[in-house]
Chains A and B, each alone.
Chain A
C-alpha cells in the first residue's frame, strides 16, 4: 500500500502598503526593555508609506522593519478571507484543471491574524501549484498582500517548529532577551 504523502507549507502574509497603522507605541509595561526607538513618548507616525526596500521607508531601523514586516493582519484579513482568496487565485491562475487537481487535498490548517502566519496542507504531488498560487496572490479582502513561503515540509511538526523559531527570533529582537 502506497502511503498518502502531503506537504505542509508555512507562509507569511506581508502588507506592502501601510494604510491603517498610524502609530507604533510601546506597551504600558514599563519594565520591559524594548529598543529605544519605541520608548519614545512621541512615537513615529506612519501613513501610507511603502516599506519595501527602495521605498522611502526602506532604511528604517532593523527593529522597525521587523515590526512592520511581520505586522498583524489588518481588519478583514481572517482565516476565511485568506481561504477564499487563495482558492480564487488557484482558479484564476491554473484554471479548472489546476483547481480541481488540488481541491480535494488542499486545506488551510492554520492562520493567525495576529501574526499573519499560516500553514497550508497539500498532497505532495501538487504542492508546487499551491506554492505558485500563493506567490501570485496579491489581494485579500481588498488589502494588497505579498505572500512569502517560509518552509515546506512533509510533516506539520516541522512547519510548527520553524514558525516557533521565527517567533523566538522576533521576540528576542524586540524585547532584548526573552
Chain B
C-alpha cells in the first residue's frame, strides 16, 4: 500500500511566520498536481497483471503466457521475472542426449542438404534472377521450397509466411492474398490511412508486363490500348505514370451497337529518355504496364496479339518487339497514409550515389512528407541499399509526434520534394526494368553479423565526428564496399498512396522493415477496399461491373451469398419472397437478391417483368462508360455508334441522413411527383421511416442501378458507396441533371435518400 500514499507538503513551505508567500503558494499547488498525477499513474501500474497485457494487441501471442520467446524482446526480461514469481512452468529447451545414432542421422541430413544446395547453385548460376517470360507467360515462382506442395495450384506472395501468421488468407486470381488481419480493424484502418502512421500492403499480385521494342511500335501499341490517353508528353518523358483504363481493342468495332469495353485500370509507365527530339523511331524503348490480376489474362492475350501483328506487319515491322511477363520478377508494396514517406525515408536506406544535396532533399521530403503533396502519377526511380543493414528500424515515436508538424511547413516539404526529383534525375531509366538490374540475389547481398557490427562502429564514429549534427542521417552517411544497390520505382498513385516496385526477391525484406516498427499497420484486400471506399474511389474489380473481371467477381459473390443464405435456418434469415415494398407491386425482392442483378436491370421490359432465362451473354453484358462527360455532350451523335442500352457508368453515392448502403443495394430514380416528398426528408429530421409521411419506395420500373461497394464512411461521417448506374435507365427516368436517388438495401422495405455524383 506504500505506493498508494500521496505525498503532501507541510504548510510551512508557503506559510512561514505569518507570511503567505504567493510564489510558494503557487508552487505548492503545482506540487500537489504532480503528486496526484503520480498517484494516478502508480495505481494504474500496480493493477497491471502481467507483461503480456502491456504488449500491444497485435503482438500478443498465446504461447507467450509460458514462453518468453514469443514476446517482443523489450518485454522478455520483465516477463521472465513475472513467470518466476508466479511459478509458471516454463518450458525448458529440449535437449537430446547425443548418441551415436543421432550423430549419424545428423550427418546424413547435413550431407543431403549440402548436396541439394550444390545442385541448386549450379542450376541457378546461369539464371541469376527470377523468371521472366518473353512473349510467353512466365513460370511462376515457388516461394518456400519446403512448402512446394502447397503452391501447386496457387502462387504465394513473397511475404506469404509473414502474412499467414497475422492475417486470414484467401485464394484469389491464382494467388494467395491476405484478406484481412486477424484482429478487427475497421476503425484502425481508417485512422492509419487518415491521420496515423500508415498502412502497408503487399501488392505483388499485380501483374507487371514490360513491352520492349522500337519507340514507334511501343508507342503505337500503348496508344491503341489506352485510346491515346497514355501518350501525352509527360508520360513519354517518363516523368509521370499513366493510370487509367485499358480498352479491349477487339470488342469495340465501329458501327452500330459497338461498345467501348474496358478491361480495367492499368498503370503505364514509359521508361524515361532525356530527348524526345530526333528520330526516335528506331530507338529501343520500354513501357511498363501493370494490371490487376483479374484483368491480366485478357490484357495479356490482347497485347500478345498486338505484338504479333506488329512483328509481322509489312509496314514498319518490328521483328524485335517483345512482351515480357514480369509477374514474378517485379513485386510491389503499397503504402497509404500521411506518413508513408516518413516510413519509407526512415526505415529504408536510400542510395544517392554520394550526392549530398539529394540526401538533404530526401530527408526534408520524408520528414514531413505527405504523399498527397506529390503530384499524381509522379515516378521516382530510386536505389536502395539492403535495408537489413539498418540496425534499428526506429521505434522513435518522436518522429510521429504531432508537435513535430509545426516545425516544417508545406513549402519546405514541397521544395524538398522538388529538389529531390530534379536532382535524382527522374529522367534516368531505372535498372528495375531490366533483367540484369533486378538480378541482385538476396543471399549474395547478405552481410555477415560480424561485418554489420564493424559497420555500425564505423558509422557511430562518423556521427561523433559531425557532432551528431544530423542525427537522422547517421545511418546513411557511410557507404561501404559491400553495400548492394537495389533498384526500385516509387509511383504516386491516383488513390493517394505510394507504390514501391521492387525486385520480387527483395519484397519480403523491404516489407518487414516497413512493418516491423509495429506502428505501421499491415492490411489485406478488405482494408485496401475500405481505404478506397472512404476516399470514394472505385475498387477493382468490385466496382467495375462493366468489365468481364467485374462480372466474374459479381458472380462469385452471388454464389457465395446464396450458399450462405441457403444454409441458414428459416427463422434466422430474411425471406426475400415475402418482402413487401408497399408500393403496389407484387411481393418479393426486385431481381436476384444475392447480386447486383444487371440482367434484370438492363433487359427487363417496361412493366418490370423479366425473363430470368435471358442470361447475360457476351453481346448484352454491361459495359463501362469511361468518359461520361464526352458522351453526354455528344449523345445524339454517338447514339448510333454506341450501344447505349447496355452502357453503365460509375458514380459515388452519398447518403443524406441515415443509412449505410451495402453492396447489392438497389438504386431508384425518384419519380417526378414524389420529388417533393423526398426532398422534405432532407430538411425535416423528424420524418422517420415508421411514420406515415415517409415516402414509399419507388416502383421497380424506376430502378437505375446498384451499389457495388458501400458502407459507413468514417471519413465522411455518413453512409456512402460506389455504384454503377445504367445509362439508358437514367435517361428514361429523369435525366442526368437531377442527382437525387433512393437507395434501398436488399431485403429492406425502406428506401433512403441519397445523392449521386458521376466519377
CA distance A85 to B520 in the complex (A): 58
The reply to whether B14 and A72 form a contact with Cβ atoms under 8 Å apart is: yes
Q: With A21-B20, A22-B19, A168-B33 known to touch, is A114 a contact of B40 (CB < 8 Å)?
A: no
Residues of B near A67 (CB, < 8 A) are 20, 22, 25
The reply to whether B11 and A114 form a contact with Cβ atoms under 8 Å apart is: yes
Residues of A near B21 (CB, < 8 A) are 25-27
Residues of A near B29 (CB, < 8 A) are 115, 167, 170-171
The reply to whether B22 and A38 form a contact with Cβ atoms under 8 Å apart is: yes
In chain B between 1 and 25, which residues have their CB closer than 8 angstroms to a CB of chain A? 6, 8-11, 13-15, 18-25
The reply to whether A26 and B23 form a contact with Cβ atoms under 8 Å apart is: yes
Most chain A CB within a 10 A radius of its CB, from B19, B21, B29, B37:
B29
B30 touches A (CB below 8 Å): yes
The reply to whether B22 and A174 form a contact with Cβ atoms under 8 Å apart is: yes
The reply to whether A160 and B8 form a contact with Cβ atoms under 8 Å apart is: no
Residues of A near B43 (CB, < 8 A) are 156-157
A96 touches B (CB below 8 Å): no
The reply to whether A164 and B25 form a contact with Cβ atoms under 8 Å apart is: no
The reply to whether A20 and B18 form a contact with Cβ atoms under 8 Å apart is: yes
Q: With A110-B6, A115-B32 known to touch, is A34 a contact of B13 (CB < 8 Å)?
A: no
Q: Min CB distance, B122 to chain A, in Å?
A: 69
The reply to whether A160 and B40 form a contact with Cβ atoms under 8 Å apart is: yes
The reply to whether B25 and A117 form a contact with Cβ atoms under 8 Å apart is: no
B26 touches A (CB below 8 Å): yes
Residues of B near A20 (CB, < 8 A) are 15, 18
CA distance A140 to B29 in the complex (A): 22
The reply to whether A164 and B33 form a contact with Cβ atoms under 8 Å apart is: yes
CA distance A112 to B23 in the complex (A): 18
Q: Min CB distance, A112 to chain B, in Å?
A: 4
Residues of B near A109 (CB, < 8 A) are 6
Q: With A25-B19, A167-B30 known to touch, is A112 a contact of B8 (CB < 8 Å)?
A: yes
Most chain A CB within a 10 A radius of its CB, from B8, B15, B22, B43:
B22
Residues of B near A117 (CB, < 8 A) are 32
Q: Min CB distance, B604 to chain A, in Å?
A: 63
The reply to whether B32 and A163 form a contact with Cβ atoms under 8 Å apart is: yes
Residues of B near A111 (CB, < 8 A) are 8
CA distance A168 to B33 in the complex (A): 8
A113 touches B (CB below 8 Å): yes
Most chain B CB within a 10 A radius of its CB, from A32, A38, A114, A170:
A114
The reply to whether A113 and B25 form a contact with Cβ atoms under 8 Å apart is: no
Residues of A near B33 (CB, < 8 A) are 164, 167-168, 171
Q: Min CB distance, B34 to chain A, in Å?
A: 9
In chain A between 101 and 135, which residues have their CB closer than 8 angstroms to a CB of chain B? 109-115, 117
Residues of A near B10 (CB, < 8 A) are 78, 113-114
The reply to whether B32 and A75 form a contact with Cβ atoms under 8 Å apart is: no
The reply to whether A32 and B23 form a contact with Cβ atoms under 8 Å apart is: yes
Number of interface residues of B (CB under 8 A): 28
Q: Min CB distance, A162 to chain B, in Å?
A: 10
CA distance A112 to B34 in the complex (A): 13
In chain B between 265 and 308, which residues have their CB closer than 8 angstroms to a CB of chain A? none
B121 touches A (CB below 8 Å): no
A175 touches B (CB below 8 Å): yes
Residues of B near A112 (CB, < 8 A) are 8-9, 32
The reply to whether A72 and B28 form a contact with Cβ atoms under 8 Å apart is: yes
Q: With A114-B14, A157-B40 known to touch, is A175 a contact of B8 (CB < 8 Å)?
A: no
Closest chain A residue, CB of each to CB of B19: A23
Residues of B near A157 (CB, < 8 A) are 40, 43
B39 touches A (CB below 8 Å): yes
B36 touches A (CB below 8 Å): yes
In chain A between 64 and 101, which residues have their CB closer than 8 angstroms to a CB of chain B? 67, 71-75, 77-79
Q: With A23-B20, A24-B20, A27-B21 known to touch, is A113 a contact of B26 (CB < 8 Å)?
A: no
The reply to whether B22 and A113 form a contact with Cβ atoms under 8 Å apart is: no
B31 touches A (CB below 8 Å): yes
Residues of A near B20 (CB, < 8 A) are 21, 23-25, 67, 71-72
Q: Which of A23, A28, A78, A163 contacts B18 (CB 8 A)?
A: A23
Q: Min CB distance, B157 to chain A, in Å?
A: 47
Residues of B near A27 (CB, < 8 A) are 21-24
Residues of B near A160 (CB, < 8 A) are 36-37, 39-40
CA distance A32 to B23 in the complex (A): 8
Closest chain B residue, CB of each to CB of A45: B18
Residues of A near B30 (CB, < 8 A) are 167, 171
The reply to whether A174 and B26 form a contact with Cβ atoms under 8 Å apart is: yes
In chain B between 724 and 759, which residues have their CB closer than 8 angstroms to a CB of chain A? none
CA distance A167 to B25 in the complex (A): 11
Residues of B near A26 (CB, < 8 A) are 21-23
CA distance A112 to B13 in the complex (A): 12
Closest chain B residue, CB of each to CB of A112: B8
In chain B between 444 and 491, which residues have their CB closer than 8 angstroms to a CB of chain A? none
CA distance A65 to B574 in the complex (A): 69
CA distance A72 to B10 in the complex (A): 9
Residues of B near A32 (CB, < 8 A) are 23, 26
In chain B between 350 and 389, which residues have their CB closer than 8 angstroms to a CB of chain A? none
The reply to whether A21 and B22 form a contact with Cβ atoms under 8 Å apart is: no
Residues of B near A163 (CB, < 8 A) are 32, 36
Closest chain A residue, CB of each to CB of B17: A22
Q: Contact string, B35-79, partner A, CB cutoff 8 A, digits 1/0?
A: 011011001000000000000000000000000000000000000
Q: Min CB distance, A111 to chain B, in Å?
A: 7
Q: Min CB distance, B580 to chain A, in Å?
A: 49
Most chain A CB within a 10 A radius of its CB, from B24, B28, B36, B40:
B36
Closest chain B residue, CB of each to CB of A43: B19
Q: Min CB distance, A98 to chain B, in Å?
A: 27
CA distance A29 to B30 in the complex (A): 16
Residues of B near A23 (CB, < 8 A) are 18-20
CA distance A68 to B11 in the complex (A): 14
Residues of A near B40 (CB, < 8 A) are 157, 160-161
Q: With A160-B36, A164-B33, A167-B32 known to touch, is A74 a contact of B22 (CB < 8 Å)?
A: no
Q: With A72-B25, A157-B40, A167-B29 known to touch, is A21 a contact of B8 (CB < 8 Å)?
A: no
CA distance A149 to B29 in the complex (A): 18
Q: Min CB distance, B7 to chain A, in Å?
A: 9
In chain A between 127 and 178, which residues have their CB closer than 8 angstroms to a CB of chain B? 156-157, 160-161, 163-164, 167-168, 170-171, 174-175
Residues of A near B8 (CB, < 8 A) are 79, 110-115
Residues of A near B18 (CB, < 8 A) are 20-23
Closest chain B residue, CB of each to CB of A118: B8
CA distance A170 to B28 in the complex (A): 11
Most chain B CB within a 10 A radius of its CB, from A32, A113, A156:
A113
The reply to whether B9 and A34 form a contact with Cβ atoms under 8 Å apart is: no
In chain B between 410 and 428, which residues have their CB closer than 8 angstroms to a CB of chain A? none
CA distance A156 to B43 in the complex (A): 10
CA distance A108 to B563 in the complex (A): 65
Closest chain B residue, CB of each to CB of A160: B36
Closest chain A residue, CB of each to CB of B38: A160
Residues of B near A164 (CB, < 8 A) are 32-33, 36-37
Residues of A near B15 (CB, < 8 A) are 20-21, 71-72, 74
CA distance A20 to B17 in the complex (A): 8
Q: Which residues of A contact B (CB under 8 A)?
A: 20-29, 32, 34, 38, 67, 71-75, 77-79, 109-115, 117, 156-157, 160-161, 163-164, 167-168, 170-171, 174-175
Add 9 more A-B contacts to A113-B9, A160-B40 (CB < 8 A).
A25-B19, A72-B11, A72-B28, A78-B10, A113-B10, A114-B13, A114-B32, A160-B36, A174-B26
Sample 21 A-B pairs with CB under 8 A, ordered by A number: A27-B24, A28-B23, A34-B23, A38-B22, A71-B15, A71-B25, A72-B28, A73-B11, A74-B11, A75-B11, A112-B8, A113-B8, A113-B10, A114-B11, A160-B39, A160-B40, A161-B36, A167-B30, A167-B33, A170-B26, A174-B22
Closest 9 pairs (CB-CB, A-B)? A27-B23, A112-B8, A72-B11, A113-B11, A114-B9, A22-B18, A114-B28, A160-B36, A167-B29
